[in-house]
């Protein structure tokens, strides 16, 4: 591979810049008149049923209101207006089933989408769902997931997606917290060529839950399913419903969705996003960062719909822009390791948005695999979810982007709703490994320990956002205090604290250095150490547990757990293989397979400070096989020796 990327290669080509949506003058425009800039974007990019009177109301900070007085319907903006503009025949979704064409691959045009979303909206209304009611969605990556989300948006019922890899316990907690009225799920899902059940997890989750009146079930795998009185088949309800529906305008600040994400405590936070600002910023960034040209591009975001990336960059951003996109049901290695590249070739994908962990996995499989396919259609590559190491960045550009496609490393969060820090592919001279600078309309700083902005190259600090932005979270569902406390108190009330460490380089590029709180990032998925610790101590053989994220070559970080077993549960010199396997399975059951620890070490003690706080830094040293750092603040300084002796280090 040619690793000799010269600075010239990293500047945008004049041909690319000439057609790029994102232009240099946007920065100046946004700086000159922040609110005016966003107001203009909102009026140009979205169709309002009623224009807004005020761009931003920040008087009740940190509770923002954007586009006050405005009204719009999200589903109308994502679907109907494209049909009205004469683009009903344009493919919105090329659905690629994991098993290929025999397993239901199909194309949905914008006109198809309009009919299906209308049918689903009519069905939800007939089930008594009205504006403000919550609908939980627990579905695999199938078109019905997108249809269900848009149907909710159409009638103003906030959806709460729960990733299909979460367990019934995790699903239950989320359904209960949002007090969902309806759950939309499927009989099963295809995963690595196998049909796995999904509905049993819902049945189990609903045990003792009062709020749920109906469960709408999509038939995906065709397996046997247990049936309850509240259950309804999607094909017997939605698919027989009237296929026209009039979208009702919603207030710009009407809740659009809740999405749960892990924080520093054991309880996930329901991040609340609203209508106008969220839709605007997801559409705006999809246009200027991914450089989406809806008439000519075929866009593909490989995220799952259950995460925020799927919300903003499969559903709302691209559809608001009238994109043609690929939606793929399966994994990159089913039935073979070239599956993704086969899909790129099949649909002539021009824009690909994926995660560093996937890129590193493909690197491991070898460049010979993508080289077997025609990837010449690709013209923009995006990365999201965790810092992308320069080596993976270069490999991505070289072997997927023919050495020329711009790679945009996009930093954002579930809370920010949309991309915040990223190069613009037609403007920015790229820097492999860096997310570079805030996009036009967004402002960030790096603060030192005292909370003072620092611009010194290489001095490591805390990443903060200095102004409200349209797609910002509005609160934590049902917990305004937690919202204020988590995001606006550390350096507040002026700064939004993102939880990430960052630094500038000599050229003024921002480098994101990872979480500074007890949150891990495993394969681009956010996991909380506290949540996994709580799951571990629920097991009757565990007395105490501490979890850290250890650097992992493929997944970025990996979950490593240290557990103290209850007395009598283990003896020195015992082989702990059985209990370790049992505990890994236990975590998968409590939270989901994604949270399963890579490594569990059975230890006699945990390193604690005098105030009883576990010193994770020392455990991280152990987990990463490093020499253990300064342990002088431990209550008992011999503990680390005892632990190391037990682990045979
Ligand atoms: C955390 C947010 C954004 C959607 C997927 C994850 C990390 C995300 C980057 C990036 C470095 C990144 C941060 C952030 N992160 N993108 N380009 N470079 N770090 O959403 O689960 O809300 O996690 O992911 O640590 O805080 P999320």
Tens-place pLDDT, residues 81-124: 999 999 999 999 999 999 999 999 999 999 999 999 999 999 99
Q: How far is the CA of 411 from the centre of ligand 1 (A)?
A: 6
DSSP secondary structure of 559-570:
EEEEEEEPTTS-
Of 315-324, 474-483, 486-495, 624-633, the least confident: 624-633
Residues 6+ apart with CB under 8 A from 334: 98, 192, 193
Q: Report yes or no on 177 lying in a domain.
A: no
Give the DSSP per-residue string, 238-307: GGGS-S--PPPPEETTSEEEEEEE--SSSSPEEEEEESHHHHHHHHHHHHHTS---TTT--EEE-S-TTS
The answer to whether the CB of 555 is under 6 A from ligand 1 is: no
Pairing of strands 231-233, 214-218: parallel
> Each residue of 576-591: b (16+ CB within 10 Å) or e?
beebbeebbebbbbbb
Per-residue pLDDT reduced to its tens digit, 126-142: 999 999 999 999 999 99
Name the residue of 262, 512, 516 whose CB sits within 8 Å of the most ligand 1 atoms, as the mutation to test its pocket: 512
Asked if the structure places residue 577 within a domain, the reply is yes
Query: What is the average pLDDT score of the chain?
Result: 94
Residue 314 included in any domain: no
Q: Are residues 617 and 540 in the same domain?
A: yes
The answer to whether the CB of 163 is under 6 A from ligand 1 is: no
d(CA 242, CA 179): 28
- Assess if residue 172 is contained within a domain: no
**pLDDT value, residue 100:** 93
Look at residue 266 in the predicted model and tell me its pLDDT.
77
Alpha-carbon span 228 to 172, nearest angstrom: 17
The C-alpha angle 315, 317, 320, rounded to 5 degrees, equals 90
The CB of 521 under 6 Å from ligand 1? The reply is yes
> Considering the chain, what percentage of its residues have pLDDT values greater than 70?
97
* Residues 508 and 527 both lie in one domain: no
Give residue 539's pLDDT band: very low, low, confident or very high (50, 70, 90): very high
Confirm or reject: Cβ of 512 under 6 Å from ligand 1. yes
Q: Are residue 497 and residue 547 in the same domain, yes or no?
A: no
Asked if 532 and 582 sit in the same domain, the reply is: yes
Q: Which of 519, 536, 560 is at the close of a domain?
A: 519
pLDDT surpassing 90 at residue 239:
yes
Domain harbouring 530, CATH code: 3.30.300.30
Identify the pLDDT of residue 629.
85
Q: Are residues 541 and 470 in the same domain?
A: no
Is the same domain home to 508 and 534?
Answer: no
Mean pLDDT lowest for which of 73-82, 306-315, 522-531, 608-617? Answer: 608-617
Mean pLDDT over 572-594 rounds to 89
Statement to judge: residues 531 and 509 lie in one domain:
no
Q: Looking at residue 5, what is its pLDDT? A: 59
Query: Would you say 495 and 447 are in contact if contact means Cβ atoms under 8 Å apart?
Result: yes
pLDDT at position 570, please? 55
Q: Residue 6's pLDDT is what?
A: 64
509 with 534, same domain? no
Most confident of 45-59, 571-585, 618-632: 45-59
Let me know: does 310 contact 444? Beta carbons within 8 Å: no
User: Is 168 a member of any domain?
Assistant: no
Which 3-state string (H, E, C) describes 86-109?
HHCCCEEEEEECCCCHHHCCEEEE
- What is the C-alpha separation between 594 and 602, in angstroms, rounded? 21
Q: Name the domain boundary from 519, 548, 570.
A: 519
Q: Ligand 1 in contact with 515 (CB < 6 A)?
A: yes
pLDDT value at 1 more than 60 = no
CB crowding 18-57: b at 16 or more within 10 Å, else e: eebbbeeebbebbeeebeebbbebbeebbebeeebeebbb
Higher pLDDT, 425 or 615: 425
Q: Kindly state whether residue 454 falls inside one of the protein's structural domains.
A: yes
Indicate if the pLDDT at residue 572 is higher than 80: no
Q: Across residues 526-538, what is the average pLDDT? A: 90
β-bridge pairing 380-384 and 325-328: unpaired
User: Which residue blocks in 445-479 are alpha helix, DSSP H?
Assistant: none
Q: Is the CB of 526 under 6 A from ligand 1?
A: yes
Residue 573 pLDDT grade (very low, low, confident, very high; cuts 50, 70, 90): low
Lowest mean pLDDT among 178-182, 264-268, 349-353, 443-447: 264-268
What is the model's pLDDT at position 4? 55
CB atoms inside a 10 Å sphere around CB 485: 13
- Specify whether 542 is located in the same domain as 508: no
Determine the straight-line distance between the first and last CA of the chain, rounded to whole angstroms.
Answer: 38
Q: Are residues 571 and 635 in the same domain?
A: yes
- Full residue range of the structural domain in which residue 640 is found: 523-647
> How far does the centroid of ligand 1 lie from the alpha carbon of residue 524, in Å?
7
The closest residue, in CA terms, to atom 19 on ligand 1 is 386
State phi, psi for 57 to the nearest 5 degrees.
-115, 105
Chain segment 436-456, per-residue pLDDT in tens = 999 999 999 999 999 999 999
| Separation between Cα atoms, residue 41 and residue 320, nearest integer Å | 13
Report the distance separating Cα 253 and Cα 419, nearest Å.
Answer: 20
The number of CA neighbours under 13 Å toward the Cβ of 534 is 15
Q: Give the pLDDT mean for 559-587.
A: 84
pLDDT tens-digit map of 4-52: 556 668 999 999 999 999 999 999 999 999 999 999 999 999 999 999 9
pLDDT bin (cut points 50, 70, 90) of residue 244 is: very high
Segment among 158-162, 189-193, 430-434, 630-634 with least mean pLDDT: 630-634
Nearest CA to ligand 1 atom 14: 413
Residue 278 domain flag: no
**Residue 120, token pair as written in the block:** 């689903």
The whole-angstrom separation of Cα 185 and Cα 201 is: 10
The finding on whether 522 has its CB within 6 A of some atom of ligand 1 is no
Q: For position 502, which CATH number holds?
A: 2.30.38.10
* Distance between Cα 508 and ligand 1 center (Å): 20
462 inside domain: yes
Which residues are 496's β-sheet partners? 465
What local confidence, expressed as pLDDT, does residue 569 receive?
Answer: 57
Give the HSE-up count for residue 594: Cα atoms under 13 Å, Cβ half-sphere: 22
Examine the domain organization and report whether 642 and 562 are in the same domain. Answer: yes
Sheet strands (E) in 437-509: 444-447, 461-465, 475-476, 496-504
> Percent helix, strand, coil in the chain (nearest 5)?
35, 25, 45
Same domain for 527 and 556? yes
User: Of 519, 534, 568, which closes a domain?
Assistant: 519
For the chain, the domain total comes to: 2
**Residue 394 contacts residue 410 (beta carbons within 8 Å):** no
């Amino acid at each position: 591979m040619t690793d000799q990327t010269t600075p010239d290669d990293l500047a945008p080509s004049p041909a690319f810049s000439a057609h790029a949506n994102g232009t240099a003058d946007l920065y100046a425009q946004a700086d000159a008149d922040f609110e005016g800039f966003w107001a203009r974007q909102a009026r140009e990019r979205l169709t309002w049923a009623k224009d807004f009177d005020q761009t931003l109301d920040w008087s009740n900070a940190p509770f923002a209101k954007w586009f006050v007085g405005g009204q719009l319907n999200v589903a109308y903006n994502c679907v109907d207006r494209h049909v009205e503009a004469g683009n009903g025949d344009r493919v919105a979704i090329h659905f690629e089933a994991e098993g290929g064409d025999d397993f239901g691959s199909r194309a949905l045009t914008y006109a198809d989408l309009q009919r299906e979303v209308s049918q689903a909206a009519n069905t939800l209304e007939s089930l008594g769902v009205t504006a403000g009611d919550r609908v939980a969605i627990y579905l695999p990556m199938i078109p019905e997931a997108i249809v269900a989300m848009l149907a909710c948006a159409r009638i103003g019922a906030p959806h709460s997606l729960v990733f299909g890899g979460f367990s019934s316990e995790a699903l239950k907690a989320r359904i209960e917290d949002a007090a969902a009225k309806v759950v939309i799920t499927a009989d099963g899902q295809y995963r690595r060529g196998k049909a796995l059940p999904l509905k049993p997890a819902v049945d189990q989750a609903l045990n003792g839950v009062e709020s749920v009146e109906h469960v709408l079930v999509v038939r995906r795998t065709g397996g046997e399913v247990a049936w309850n009185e509240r259950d309804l088949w999607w094909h017997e309800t939605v698919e027989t419903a009237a296929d026209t529906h009039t979208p009702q305008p919603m207030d710009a600040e009407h809740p659009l969705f809740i999405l749960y994400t892990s924080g520093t405590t054991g309880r996930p936070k329901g991040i609340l996003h609203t209508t106008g600002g969220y839709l605007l910023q997801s559409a705006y960034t999809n246009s200027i960062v991914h450089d989406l040209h809806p008439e000519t591009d075929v866009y593909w975001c490989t995220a799952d719909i259950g995460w925020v990336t799927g919300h903003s960059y499969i559903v709302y951003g691209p559809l608001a822009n009238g994109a043609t996109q690929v939606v793929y049901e399966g994994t990159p290695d089913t039935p073979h390791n070239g599956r993704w590249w086969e899909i790129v070739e099949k649909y002539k994908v021009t824009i690909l948005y994926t995660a560093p962990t996937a890129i590193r996995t493909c690197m491991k499989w070898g460049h010979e695999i993508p080289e077997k396919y025609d990837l010449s259609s690709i013209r923009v590559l995006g990365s999201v979810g965790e810092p992308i190491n320069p080596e993976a960045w270069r490999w991505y550009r070289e072997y997927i982007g023919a050495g020329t496609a711009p790679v945009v490393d996009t930093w954002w969060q579930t809370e920010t709703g949309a991309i915040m820090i990223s190069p613009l592919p037609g403007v920015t001279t790229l820097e492999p490994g860096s997310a570079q600078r805030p996009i036009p309309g967004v402002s960030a700083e790096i603060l030192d320990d005292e909370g003072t902005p620092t611009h010194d190259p290489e001095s490591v600090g805390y990443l903060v956002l200095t102004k409200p932005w349209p797609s910002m979270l509005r609160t934590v569902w049902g917990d305004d205090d937690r919202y204020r406390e988590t995001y606006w108190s550390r350096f507040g009330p002026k700064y939004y604290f993102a939880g990430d460490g960052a630094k500038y380089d000599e050229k003024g590029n921002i480098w994101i250095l990872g979480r500074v709180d007890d949150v891990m990032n495993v394969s681009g998925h956010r996991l909380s150490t506290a949540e996994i610790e709580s799951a571990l101590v629920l097991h009757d053989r565990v007395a105490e547990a501490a979890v850290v994220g250890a650097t992992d070559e493929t997944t970025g970080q990996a979950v490593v757990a240290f557990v103290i077993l209850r007395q009598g549960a283990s003896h020195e010199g015992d082989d702990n293989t059985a209990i370790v396997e049992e505990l890994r399975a236990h975590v998968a059951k409590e939270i989901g397979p994604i949270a399963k620890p890579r490594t569990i070490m059975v230890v006699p003690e945990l390193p604690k400070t005098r105030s009883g706080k576990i010193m994770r830094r020392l455990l991280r040293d152990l987990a990463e096989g490093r020499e253990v750092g300064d342990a002088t603040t431990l209550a008992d300084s011999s503990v680390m020796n005892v632990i190391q002796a037990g682990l045979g280090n």
